[in-house]
Chain A
């Protein structure tokens, strides 16, 4: 066997092993439950509630993440300011820090002076539906920001310079030039934020609990169903989440392939 064959075999082999691990796990899940189990689980009112709440909160989170991260990413990429590297590093923290830590931090925040002031003015989001959005947002927004930042960084800033010389103010440059050119990245970031939000478990559980018909979202449903030994239900919800992920990945790839610029 020559070196070329060994090289290709090694690299393909490792690719194949990882692909197989994922496929075996997925097929194992699918094989474990029957279609009737799946239908039965998804027909349960508490799970239907969790599906609706998950879709609603993740959608709101994705929109909020885009609203915040588009201008924030632009500021990070285009404005020069003291401590920009530090700010950038802090904004990456939600990606690296274990999600549970975010949940605990949110909970602790409401024990601080500022948290108490917010509580006394009616902004107490602990164990509430808006709280789910906040917990999802803190993490999803970081992923969203990183994706949009990459899109802005890849853009030729001379396009903006030319627009300025043609009479545009900064708002016009942003909305007529920057945003349309970075549209592909922004759409991708929105899909990533949504996919991340719908699967968020740790911070939601810690900050909002998992009360049935109140703050139960799909990831917490899996946890609840498992804790009472209903593995089929837990698997059905897991497969539903896998389905959502596959759909979002396919949409993402479609956008990236078509190049909606």
Chain B
């Protein structure tokens, strides 16, 4: 479970203001218009940017001031950012190398995660030879192999074709249930959100303007912005 308590972050002219939220071990989708601060919020959570005030509690431990690698958070950025100078296997095992796993234990963990994500056949390939869907699963394996307590996904499905997206949506949901950790996923597609989200956070201009179960938000959007953003043609009542 992750709790965000009155987080405040500022960089140049942009601010994240008074961000408070609680995500259980569930699939949470973060939505909002471009420039709302979605990626910045993920970077703040994984420690790549330092907050000015507030607290981030992961399983009730305060991780606000910890270095990114000490937080126990898996992060998958847009376009997956696979290390181009390493094979798929080295990419996946990189976190274990940093954590100084011995070779046998590392091999075992790599095999397990690859079987789970069905990417064993890709291990000897180079990242540039992977398709979008393959790259997505490799990046996910790399983020999950360090057994994170939270997984952050920055638009993981946006660059994929319809068929691959369909397949991976099911896979993501299944993975979350299997890992039993919170997934926080930035999402731009309505159908994606509809099928994945146990909970939705709506971020607007650096502020969370509504959060809750998707059904509740759809029924009772906080304001017109949320209604417009969510319904996309569907008729939702506006407060």
Contact = CB atoms under 8 A, between A and B. Distances in A.
Interface of A: 156, 158-159, 161-169, 172, 176-177, 180-181, 183, 261
Contact of A164 (B68, B78, B84): B68
B67 A164 contact: yes
A112 B214 CA distance: 73
A165 B85 contact: no
Given A162-B77, A164-B69, A180-B85, A172 B46 contact: no
B99 A165 contact: no
Nearest to A170: B67
B201 interface: no
Contact of A167 (B78, B79, B83, B99): B99
A169 B99 CA distance: 11
Interface in B76-102: 77-79, 81, 83-85, 94-95, 98-99
B217 to A, nearest CB: 29
A42 B48 CA distance: 59
Contact of B46 (A156, A165, A261): A165
A180 B95 CA distance: 17
B38 to A, nearest CB: 15
B239 to A, nearest CB: 38
A166 B94 contact: yes
Contacts of A161: 43, 48, 68, 75, 77, 81
B98 A167 contact: yes
Contacts of B70: 167
B85 A172 contact: no
Nearest to A155: B84
Contact of A177 (B43, B73, B83): B83
Given A158-B77, A168-B69, A169-B69, A163 B85 contact: no
Contacts of A156: 81
A165 B75 contact: yes
Nearest to B46: A165
B198 to A, nearest CB: 24
Contacts of B46: 165
Contacts of A166: 69, 94-95, 98, 142, 146
Given A162-B142, A166-B69, 4 more contacts: A162-B77, A162-B81, A165-B68, A166-B95
Given A165-B73, A167-B69, A158 B99 contact: no
Contacts of A183: 85
B74 interface: yes
B182 interface: no
A165 B75 CA distance: 7
Contact of B48 (A159, A165, A181): A165
B39 to A, nearest CB: 10
A93 B223 CA distance: 57
14 contacts: A156-B81, A159-B83, A161-B43, A161-B75, A161-B77, A162-B81, A162-B83, A163-B83, A165-B46, A165-B73, A167-B98, A167-B99, A172-B98, A177-B83
A159 B73 contact: no
B32 interface: no
Instruction: Determine which residue in B43, B68, B70 has the highest number of CB atoms from chain A within 10 A of its CB, and name it.
Output: B68
A181 B98 contact: no
Interface in B52-83: 67-71, 73-75, 77-79, 81, 83
B47 interface: yes
Nearest to B99: A167
B85 A167 contact: no
Contacts of A172: 98
B188 to A, nearest CB: 18
A69 to B, nearest CB: 21
A261 B83 CA distance: 11
A163 B143 CA distance: 10
A231 to B, nearest CB: 50
Instruction: Determine which residue in B47, B48, B71, B146 has the highest number of CB atoms from chain A within 10 A of its CB, and name it.
Output: B48
A170 to B, nearest CB: 10
A165 B98 contact: no
Contacts of B79: 158
Nearest to A182: B85
A158 B43 CA distance: 10
B47 A165 contact: yes
Given A159-B81, A172-B98, A261-B84, A167 B48 contact: no
Contacts of B67: 164, 169
Contacts of A169: 67, 69
B75 to A, nearest CB: 4
A163 B77 contact: no
B224 to A, nearest CB: 34
